[in-house]
Structure 1
Amino acid sequence: MKFIHTADLHLDSPLRGLSSYPDAPAERLRTATRDAFERLVTVAIEEKVDFMVIAGDVYDGDWKDFNTGLFFVRQMGRLRQAGIPVYLLYGNHDADSEMTKGLELPDNVHAFASRKAETFRIEPLKVALHGRSFKVAATTENLLPGYPMPVAGWLNIGVLHTALEGLTEHAKYAPCTVPELQARGYQYWALGHVHEQRIERGDTTIAYPGNLQGRHIRETGPRGALLVSAEEGEITEIERIEVDVLRWHALAVDVSTCVDLRSAVRLAGQAMEDLLTSSPGGLPMAVRVNFTGQSAAHAALASDEGQLRQEMIAQAVALDPDRIWIEKVRVATTAPATQASGLEGEAQDALNALQELAASAHADPEFLQSLQDDWQSMLEKLPHDVLQASQELAELRQADPTLIADRVRQATPVLMARVAGASTAA
């Protein structure tokens, strides 16, 4: 017996970070979450799975386009025609969605109630699925105490949309702990809400499949679902199914050996080529390029990130314009310690003090707020067309103080280098 465990489809959720760029593949970005789910349904049919479990967040919140819901109904219909039942639990995003309340699903879809936990039994397979949907998005109480006891002699699957204790980066919906899950006595917990794959094997298998399609740079790498095999009431195998149609990568480029902008750009181009070579054939990629290391090229890299991004786009276009797009370029390099040599006395002391201030800014909330206020005041004085033309300036208008502090930290060595150069020329 085998089944597919998936969660966090977030159908029609926008892919953030590329859609505003003129060189981005708009149609592919718009349909990525649908395409990933359609691929998963195809896999389910080809593998002839016995059933599918969806552990929450089919939709993406209060999205009012009913075409999204109709697409989901159509995919459920494909599974119905193949004789595959679906056990569906609604998560926090579904609780906000009009589609959850307004669309009738095919009769092969069994949705868990939200009033209390309930059990669906598959008699021929001796499988019992226990779950409870969210009634409201802000479900912050522990739902586990209401889950029923396991059915003796059967494979018991718990379905829950939850933020396990310790996963601080996720909103605390239906929080619980691993020992609490284990104590329930089920053989498998099909979880949702956390977008990274996590599997803990043992007498009780606890699994997050992750989301089907990465939507931004914080969701890098392969995305998909889990194909779970079981025999005589025990989990025997778990296989990752990759169905994403566009993949996000954070590409670190160490430019410690580079002496100028040209050599740094060439090195980044080589890193992108290596990424293309090692990635699955034909799969498009959205890449954030992060320049790192202590480098003589720091001043040139940090002085104009807008120009640097255009250089990276040119590298990507030359390699494969249909497969690789630049999401963003970040400069996290530092200047060599000798870059500002030649200064003496008060000038050197002033620059040293500025460098120390920039390095310690993150630990001083009052200074950060003052810096942000000054920065915002300057941005407000710029013409609207200037702000529209510069993505970096537009980002800074909504930036938190730590990002502004990063800009100051990066700019300080550039200033030191220029002051040193002016001093030498004089």
Structure 2
Amino acid sequence: MGIFKIEGGHQLKGKIQPQGAKNEALQILCAVLLTPEKVTIHNIPDIVDVNKLMDLLRNLGVIIEHIEQGTYTFQAENIDLKYLESEAFKEDGRGLRGSIMIVGPLLARFGKGYIPKPGGDKIGRRRLDTHFEGFIKLGAKFRYNREDYFYGVESKKLKGAYMLLDEASVTGTANIVMAAVLAEGKSTIYNAACEPYLQQLCNMLNRMGAKISGIGSNMLIIDGVDNLKGTSHTMLPDMIEIGSWIGLAAMTKSELTITNVSWDDLGQIPVVFRKLGITVERKGDDIYIPAHTDGYEIQNYIDGSILTISDAPWPGFTPDLLSIILVVATQARGSVLIHQKMFESRLFFVDKLIDMGAKIILCDPHRAVVIGHDFKSQLKATTMTSPDIRAGVSLLIAALSAKGTSTIHNIEQIDRGYENIDTRLQAIGAKINRS
């Protein structure tokens, strides 16, 4: 397994452009299975999770051509359905959480979709009920092999239905939408996820000939069509990476410009960082972060009580950035309560920050109180292991701000979600080396 050696305590300076959005890519790539025609996708991030999904698509028979950096064409004309029942597929599908989203398109177009229990980050329970309950509502028959942890849905012809989702699951909504676009009749999905990446998927499907209305709301209405055609699609920049770079700039007192961020799709992200006292300036479609040489101060509520930052479905604050917020708060003036509502194991990385000298009280698996140092006590370098993508980057940011040289093991977790992170950070002055 690879490691990063990070020499902390250096100010960074320059411009950094965010990669294409990982969470959008996993949805969009699965959608190519809905048509036999060619689909061109731009701004695809070169990261482990996306590359694994592309390998899975190739094994299914999708013809993938590399046009230029970040741009590929996909043609799912001849799909090998036998691969779905092979031992190779069971192994390939387990290694990637996003593989669950091939089920909806395969079910809609070919009448069957299978998937082994998928892997991904170890951040707590991430159930799949919403996906399969939606497919069942559309008329699919569900089966589950407990011995192999293998899920399957089959249907000769899906039929539109009304459904109220038990949670506003992003991947669940995406999967059900991709199944419903080829179903017979009208489907209504209430309590649907409505984040920008889901909007991107719906808009792409409409360009392919789908009939989806209510995009951007929590009620999607889909009139099924007989078939879809090819299209071209450009993915949004990754909002999680954008938030990561805001946090990095603040923690290292660096002057950074984050370019081409698609401001209108960032939602609460700039607002929440400003609540921590961080200056986030809009310059065209760029974010400018000045060097916070005097630090930054956490706002209290208007009645003087301690600020709470928690996650919620869009347009609430994304859970993927709470780890970054927690790290940034360790050097703020003031205190904040971090409430991670959605995943019960995501805060367990804070013991590493405590080892580095951070003042954090882990109240329970979901809540932590952070008492900021105001840069009066610098974090100390240490050796640590990345438990998941977001915690890994949070520890990397902590290491870049710390005194001394830190070592991070299991950096493959970071590579799952961040493209060439070491070389991109080196370009703005970070002392980081991979071995």
Q: Name the TM tier (shorter chain).
A: under 0.3
Larger of the two Rg values belongs to structure: 1
More contact order relative to length (CA 8 Å, sep ≥ 6):
2
Please report the TM-score for the alignment, with normalisation by the length of structure 2: 0.27
TM-score (norm 1): 0.27
